[in-house]
Amino acid sequence: MNTQYDIIIIGTGSGGGTIAKKLAGSGKRILILERGGFIPKEKQNWDPHEVVTLGRYRPKENWYDKDDKPFLPYIHYNVGGNSKVYGAALFRFRESDFREVKHYGGTSPAWPFGYETLRPYYDLAEKMYHVHGKRGVDPTEPPTSFDYPLPPLPYEPLIKDLNEKMRQIGLQPFPLPMGVNLPQDNSKNVSPLILENFDGFPDLTDSKADAQTVGLNHALMLSNVEMITHAYVEKLITDETGTKVIAAKTIVEGEEIFFSADTFIVACGAVNSAALFLRSANYSHPNGLANSSGQVGRNLMLHHNGCLVAFTKKKNDCVFQKSLGLADFYHGADDSEFPLGEIQLMGRNDPETILWMAEDIYSDKTYEELKEMSIDFWLTSEDLPSPENRVTLREDGSIKVSYTRNNYTAYEKLKTKLKKVFEKLGETDADYKDVQWKGYDLDVSGMSHQNGTLRFGADPSASVLDLYCKTHDLDNVYVVDASFFPSCGAFNPALTIAANALRVGDHIIKEVLDLKTVVRNHTVTV
């Protein structure tokens, strides 16, 4: 087995899978190490009981909260990372998200660069991830030079009605920017694919634009790129000077293998990337790799995320509900001087969850009846970086996540805003009157939006990574998952992760690798 490469990428999610495709054409020998394997294509992919209730594709791995109580984190170790089960809502962060912003719970810090730095990479990421959407209808949308690569997904009748009714009361809903590669996008002479179980499920049809389908699959077509699955990177090994990583100590099917490279790219997810750095402590880095600042693992953010279901008299027969967003309260409201967050429709809740939520108000109704009554919303508000919200390792090496909510007032107010929207709708449409509300909030186990544990910045004493996401303390280690976020806005992070991975990949090609490489006997400039 070859163990020497030019580049090693650890992790295959939105960061790792994206940068793999970016760097594949360099001609350099690239090894991708993935902790999990491929999610099999099977009927259980779309089975709510298997996927949601039983956690068929989730690892049975205990993490520990701030009180040392074990919990099962909502994470996935597989090719494509968490993107295999994400909802594929692909938002750009807003211009304000890159600036210092005051909130109910404090102040979110400014990024070391503004929106314009990521703008061209957002363009590339939207094209790569086949984003469907419509410009000019979301009042918070940042400036862009191009339309979305593909038109928005069509509204089904209920969503069309909801969109029209919201506009009548002065709101500005918009089509969700969705990453999906439908066969009918490319040809009218094919059978159209109808989306259904999509949000939170693996996609049996490979139509979801995830890191595997749009990134890894393309990279692995080239002979200079290879991937090893079920490869757990236990630690990174430095040279004697402690300024350069020379190997990744990896467990592959019980065998200990040291893979070497000139450049290492870490993309394990914010929690596991921080844990890897902490596990890699040595004589030169006694508190963890790249941790001279003491910031490794700190400032963990998760967003305030949750579901709010409206039980209405309006019949909901939608097949694919996840198509509409509402950001009118993102920067605040008439009765709120501080930002609240964003609202979007989500995929339909699974039968067991709906029955559980409705048992005290509609105990006599079946799931099918409740499904026709329910409109499922997903709400996201910003949490703020705090050094005490952090990732550490217990004595046995297991992961401890110490997290206390902050800025929760914004999230509660956002819930109230959505309920008031329906009160207003009910004044002109009886089917939206007297809505019954039920829902749930994600707790510390909800790790789908984890970020911030290896923040980037210009000051090595206050950050772990530099402006190109290279560690301050090491010459050849980059991080391209959401660890680098200094703040998290209130939009799904996936597109920002992908855009930044393209930016970092661009930097590596131009500044780290040779600009000239031989491809098919022709010298080309990368």
Q: Residue 93's CB: how many other CB atoms inside 10 A?
A: 23
* DSSP H or E run through 369: helix 367-373
Which residues in the chain show pLDDT less than 70? Answer: 514-526
Q: Do residues 35 and 261 make contact, with C-beta atoms less than 8 angstroms apart?
A: no
Please say whether the beta carbons of 481 and 488 come within 8 A: no
Q: What is the pLDDT of residue 523?
A: 35
Side chain identity, residue 235: K
Residue 404 CA, chain-centre distance (Å), reads 21
What's the pLDDT tens digit per position in 113-133?
Answer: 999 999 999 999 999 999 999
Q: Is 169 exposed, middle or buried (0-12, 13-18, 19+ CB in 10 A)?
A: exposed
- The pLDDT of residue 524 is 29
What pLDDT shows up at residue 514? 67
- What structural domains and CATH numbers belong to the chain? 4-153+176-302+389-405+452-525 (3.50.50.60)
Residue 177 pLDDT: 98
Residue 522's pLDDT is 33
Q: Give dist(CA 386, CA 390) in Å, integer.
A: 8
d(CA 183, CA 180) in angstroms, rounded, equals 10
**Within 10 Å of residue 238's Cβ, how many Cβ atoms?**
23
CA atoms within a 13 Å half-sphere pointing along the CA-CB vector of 389: 19
